[in-house]
Structure 1
Amino acid sequence: MAAPDFSDISKPLDGRIGAPRIVAMPLPAYGDLSKAANDLINKDFYHTQAANLEVKLKAPNGANVTVKGKQAFDGATTASLEGKYTLKPQGMHFLQMSRLFFPLPVSARQSLYLMIVSVPVAQKTGTPDEPLALSPQHHVYLTYRYKPGITVTQGWTTAALLDTKVEFASLMSQPVKAEFQNLFNPNAPSKAAQKLNLTFKQPNLHARAFLDHSAAGNINALIDATVGHEGFVAGAEAGYDVSKAAITRYSAGLGYQAPTFTASLIAMQNLSVLAASYYQKVNSNVEAGAKATYDLQGGKSVGLEVASKYKLDPLSFAK
């Protein structure tokens, strides 16, 4: 019997060659637990949805211009014109506090700067030959420089509604994104409405808060959060009416996500409706998804939706 060749002997995985690689998926927001399946099932079927038109342009200065149009089945057409511009950080890089005195947290170290300025100031000398003399006067400034840019979006709709939105990529160099929106109608100034959205995102936590101040003066809040570990995701949301001091809605969900497929189970409408969805990217050209819905209180049959997408070429596809 011939001695086996060394190339025929299986080699253990040493972590460098042939070892399985785990790709960390970004943690989705609670509203996006079943986004992949919902987009595949609901989007691009124009016989069930209103016709939409969206044109995007980009100016030389970096401003983005978007024109949107929508025609409902009853014939009503709405449109909007939107301009979006990101303000770049301004100011100088001064001496960082951590280099001069004591170490600071990374969040403060990136934005706090110390500046020492010497300014010549005219002072009286008391002599007739030189009544005034220039002497240096020192000033020390502690400044805060907001490093991330600010995005400003201004929209105008056919309903004579001015939509102004200001986005902050982070607050105090923390992973907190803030977004303020003001809806103003020049024909009815007293009916203005405001919205404030806050987003906090970490590798294992994604939390959001939405505050809505309506034109009638009511304040509604919606808070949701998801936590994740090694692909498993759990989340919940709750709505609260500040004026009535009452919870208006709540739901919870579980999910699992991988690079090629996602699955989720969500209890919606105050935990009265169950929705299970599954999405899989079969290959670079084929996608498949399904969604089942069951009303726990109604006792009706299970609703099932199935969709598939095939990419014909880089510019076209069939669903």
Structure 2
Amino acid sequence: MAPPKAGDITRAANDLFSDDFGGAENKLTLKSTAANGVALKVEGARSNASGAVNALLETKYTHKPTGVSIKEKWTTKNVVATEIGVANKVVAGSDATLCANFVPNAGIQDLKLKTALKKDAFTATMDVTQKAINATTCFGYKNFLFGVSSNISLGTFAPSGTKFTVGYREGDLIVGTSITDAAKVDGSIFHAVNPAVQAGVQFGWNRTSGATSLAVAAQKRLDATSFAKVKINTAMDINASYVVAVRPGVLLRLSADIAGNALASDKHQVGLHLTLSQ
């Protein structure tokens, strides 16, 4: 089996810390699939802090005989993002996606060509824009994963954001660490304690500023239809969520963002996310 992309070596821990939180806004998501196979998603969100309302309309269709996929997304920022992708056409394990943003009063912007190649021994990606190239590769050896990524400016051909990542996977444990530009160190530990409980730790150190960070997170499946999760960092930012499948096609998430170092303040936020799908 092909190793993951370099950026996904620590994905299990990253997902534990990022997914299913959202006390800063209230959101409604509608998902459906038309009879011809077009997947539709409509989403609206209101910020608790500013009251601003944002929305998007997304469609996705895959032509199975050719493997060509087309995805379009319109947002209330009046930007239409289009992605056209094809898989396994050049060589087995390859895919390529052309991305472009269209702004009515400015024309086409942000052209990008994303390519990837997955083989048993390695996974490589290369994203090309008008200004830079981002390239990554990841190799696997037994339980170890080795990844490297870098951005190269097409103007100066100078690399930046060069990151080396090492991961170790064994059973229910995933450990990863990375060094970026020889100055920033990040690490994570993900542990599936049992089928119902997941736990993780993230830590970081910046050699330039001397700043350090530490965060812990956990998720507990309460029953077949619901789970709860929480995370906290050294700044005493506390995020908690409760997610429940109310019935088939109805998913409710209740989230809270708590300023643990200012419990008597009005900095706390509560958010709701309702997803209706067909």
Q: In the alignment, does 2:223 pair up with 1:313?
A: yes
- Shift in alpha-carbon separation, 1:313–1:29, aligned structure 2, 3 A: same
Partner of 2:16: 40
Aligned 1:104-115 pairs, distance under 5 A: none
Distance 1:173 1:29 in 2: 18
In structure 2, the partner of 1:57 is: 32
Q: How far apart are the structure 1 equivalents of 2:219 and 2:79? A: 37
Partner of 1:195: 112
8 Å Cα contact 1:171/1:178 also seen in 2: no
CA distance 1:243–1:84, shift in 2 (3 Å): same
Post-superposition offset of 1:246: 2.0
- 2-structure distance, mates of 1:287, 1:80: 32
Specify which of 105, 108, 129 is matched with residue 212 of structure 1: 129
Partners of 1:79 and 1:174 in 2: how far apart?
37
Q: CA deviation at 1:205?
A: 0.3
Report the residue type matching 1:41 in the other structure.
F
Compared with structure 1, are the counterparts of its residues 46 and 193 closer, same or farther at alpha carbon in structure 2 (3 Å cutoff)? Answer: closer
**Equivalent of residue 73 in structure 2, options 130, 144, 155:** 155
> May I ask how many residue pairs the two structures share in their alignment?
228
Which whole-Å deviations, capped at 9, do the CAs of 1:19-41 have from their partners, x for residues lacking one? xxxxx6x5111111111112212
Q: Does 1:186 align with 2:91?
A: no
Counterpart for residue 193 of structure 2: 282
Q: Is the 8 A contact 1:169 1:176 kept in 2?
A: yes
1:38 match: secondary structure:
helix
Mapping of 1:7-22 within 5 angstroms? none
Taking the aligned partners of 1:27 and 1:51, their CA distance within structure 2 comes to 37
CA distance in 2, matches of 1:212, 1:79: 27
Q: Give the corresponding residue for 2:165.
A: 253
Describe the shift of the 1:53–1:30 C-alpha distance in structure 2 as closer, same or farther (beyond 3 A): farther
In the aligned structure 1, how far is the partner of 2:137 from the partner of 2:25?
A: 31
Percent identical among aligned pairs is 28
More strand, by proportion: 2
The superposition leaves residues 264-286 of structure 1 with CA deviations (integer Å, 9 ceiling, x where unpaired) of 01112x12111110001111111
Relative to structure 1, the CA distance from residue 245 to residue 71 in structure 2 (aligned partners, 3 Å threshold; closer, same or farther) is farther
The gaps in structure 2 that reach 5 residues or longer are 230-278
Q: Structure 1 31/70 Cα, relative in aligned 2: closer, same or farther at 3 Å?
A: farther
* Secondary structure of residue in 1 paired with 2:174: strand
- Across the aligned residues of Structure 1 and Structure 2, the Cα RMSD in angstroms comes to 1.9
8 Å CA contact 1:155–1:162 kept in 2: the answer is yes
C-alpha deviation, 1:171, in angstroms: 2.6
Structure-2 residue corresponding to 1:242: 154
Task: Give 2:31's aligned amino acid.
Answer: K
Distance in 2 between residues matched to 1:271 and 1:51, nearest whole Å:
40
Q: C-alpha deviations, 1:111-164, integer Å up to 9, x for none?
A: xxxxxxxxxxxxxxxxxxxxxxxxxxxxxxxxxxxxx41111122211221211
Q: For the residues of structure 2 that align with 1:43 and 1:63, how far apart are their CA atoms?
A: 25
Report which structure shows greater RCO (CA 8 Å, sep ≥6).
2
TM norm structure 2: 0.76
Q: Which residue of 2 aligns with 1:135?
A: none
Give the letter aligned to residue 3 of structure 2: L
- Higher Cα radius of gyration: 1
**What residue number does 1:76 align with?**
52
Q: The residue matched to 1:41 in structure 2 has which SS?
A: helix
Other structure's SS at 2:50 match: coil
Aligned equivalents of 1:233, 1:76: Cα separation in 2: 42
1:32–1:69 Cα change, 3 Å: farther
> C-alpha displacement at 1:52, in angstroms?
4.7
Distance 1:50 1:198, change over 3 A: farther
Change (3 A) 1:88 1:260: same
- SS across alignment from 1:62: coil
d(CA) in 2 for partners of 1:247 and 1:231?
Answer: 30
Question: What is the rounded CA distance, in whole Å, between the counterparts of 1:267 and 1:51 in structure 2?
Answer: 36
